[in-house]
Amino acid sequence: MLQSLWRFLSSFLPRAVCQGPAAEKEDEAGNGSPLPGPGEKGPKMVGKPQDRGTDPTERRPTILLVVGPAEHFPKKIVKAGDKDLDGQLDFEEFVHYLQDHEKKLRLVFKSLDKKNDGRIDAQEIVQSLRDLGVKISEQQAEKILKSMDKNGTMTIDWNEWRDYHLLHPVENIPEIILYWKHSTIFDVGENLTVPDEFTVEERQTGMWWRHLVAGGGAGAVSRTCTAPLDRLKVLMQVHASRSNNMCIIGGFTQMIREGGPRSLWRGNGINVLKIAPESAIKFMAYEQIKRFIGTDQEMLRIHERLLAGSLAGAIAQSSIYPMEVLKTRMALRKTGQYSGMLDCAKNILSKEGMAAFYKGYIPNMLGIIPYAGIDLAVYETLKNAWLQRYAVNSADPGVFVLLACGTISSTCGQLASYPLALVRTRMQAQASVEGAPEVTMRGLFKHILKTEGAFGLYRGLAPNFMKVIPAVSISYVVYENLKMTLGVQSR
């Protein structure tokens, strides 16, 4: 909880400590916003007056309407609230910004209020900063209080805290980043999700790589446990048709009859091995793309995360794509066809050439955007809905809410990109199917729609969805245990 206080307290600590004409002018303008110069018109705020007869100490929440020139409105607020990216902040966007920002401010206020009396005093500020490793005197803490204290009590209640910070957007809350990890925790066999953010504290203490290691180990266990369903999905994607209607029980029976129980795990070895290089490349690429975008924020906005995550996913997939082809060929192999992964790779290289390792590359790249985009959008929507309604004292959603959000978002992402995934798998498997003609992505789409209809693009969807819940649950449990083993603080 303490790391969530740092950005708030550090944002006004230097201003409170360093007093002077410039600082006083900033304070009078309101939290660092410059005062209008001579001849300039500042933004006008029209508020709803308090009802008569009420206690003047009980201030009611006031919705502010901006009726002044847009160019004088703080750019950070416009950026934080501009949902349609038109460079302007209309009334609906402003109200949504106020509601969302007020919820985040309440979380931090609760964190600072150590006495749970609804007020923050100088001692609580000193203690909170001391817990963060920052030592200040009680006099300095009192200067911080004075910048927000309106009634001269030298304590801050919720209304004073909210009014001071409401028009000072904070686009990241480290506590939310900490509790709402997604792609690091959940592994459903497709590593196409947007990478998670890490807090400043996690980066400085080196906890980020322990999270990645724990996530990689969780993914390995999860994929191994759900490998039979994954292999059945690949078989149904490639071999199932109207004339060969393969069901789940029949598919398992066929695999066991052909190669015994061990054949259920064919292709799992390469599927597990590719976790480490893919995750590492994607994380490094994501961090570099964030720097290229030029943002210094701890957590990007959704459209920035989607752009950076999609590009990072494309770079990672391009780097390890030959392993994807090997995984498909190993899953489809018959008993005795290959002695192992290296033998399979040598066979493909000698008979089909290097180009065979990039069959299905285009539909795979095209599938990143709908998968990552819908998965991210659904997860963020569910997360924000929960935070708005239930996050009173903490942003911690608990195990079941986190599992539910991860399962729903992953399912929606897979559903949107599944036709492209099926076409990719069939193109990867072309040489392993005797007599199969070499076709392009467009030609294969037309062939499937003509011979099997739209339903043909969703062959193998049932076992794919069947593995989501166990995969998410297993990866979460293993991740939490590996975190403790690696010395990462428990959630």
- 335-393 pLDDT, tens per residue? 888 888 999 999 999 988 898 999 999 999 999 888 888 888 888 888 878 776 776 55
**Max avg pLDDT among 11-25, 173-187, 260-274, 427-441:** 260-274
Task: Identify the CATH number of the domain in which residue 151 sits.
Answer: 1.10.238.10
Query: What is the extent of the structural domain holding 103?
Result: 75-183
State whether 223 and 364 are in the same domain: yes
State whether 256 and 148 are in the same domain: no
State whether 376 and 344 are in the same domain: yes
Q: Across all residues in the chain, what is the average pLDDT?
A: 74
> In this model, does residue 268 exceed pLDDT 60?
yes
Residue 260, sorted as left (phi over 0), alpha (psi -120 to 50) or beta, turns out to be: left
> In this model, does residue 41 exceed pLDDT 90?
no
Residue 137, sorted as left (phi over 0), alpha (psi -120 to 50) or beta, turns out to be: beta
State whether 165 and 205 are in the same domain: no
* pLDDT band at residue 183 using 50, 70 and 90 as cut-offs: low
406 within domain boundaries:
yes
State whether 178 and 232 are in the same domain: no
192 within domain boundaries:
no
248 within domain boundaries:
yes
Give the end of a domain, one of 118, 151, 183: 183
Please count the structural domains in the chain: 2
18 within domain boundaries:
no
Give the end of a domain, one of 155, 183, 211: 183
CA distances from 343 to 218, 350, 360, 403 (A): 28, 11, 21, 39
State whether 428 and 459 are in the same domain: yes
| Per-residue model confidence as pLDDT tens digits over 278-337 | 888 988 888 888 888 765 555 566 777 788 888 888 999 999 999 999 999 999 998 888
Residues 6+ away with beta carbon under 8 Å from 469: 407
Compute the half-sphere exposure of residue 120: CA atoms within 13 Å on the CB side of its CA: 27
Task: Identify the CATH number of the domain in which residue 290 sits.
Answer: 1.50.40.10
> In this model, does residue 432 exceed pLDDT 70?
no
Output the pLDDT for position 75: 60
Look at 184 and 219; give whichever has higher pLDDT: 219
pTM equals 0.63
State whether 174 and 273 are in the same domain: no
67 within domain boundaries:
no
Output the pLDDT for position 62: 38
Residue 64, sorted as left (phi over 0), alpha (psi -120 to 50) or beta, turns out to be: beta
59 within domain boundaries:
no
Output the pLDDT for position 108: 74
17 within domain boundaries:
no
* pLDDT band at residue 76 using 50, 70 and 90 as cut-offs: low
State whether 380 and 457 are in the same domain: yes
Give the end of a domain, one of 183, 217, 235: 183
291 within domain boundaries:
yes
Output the pLDDT for position 391: 61
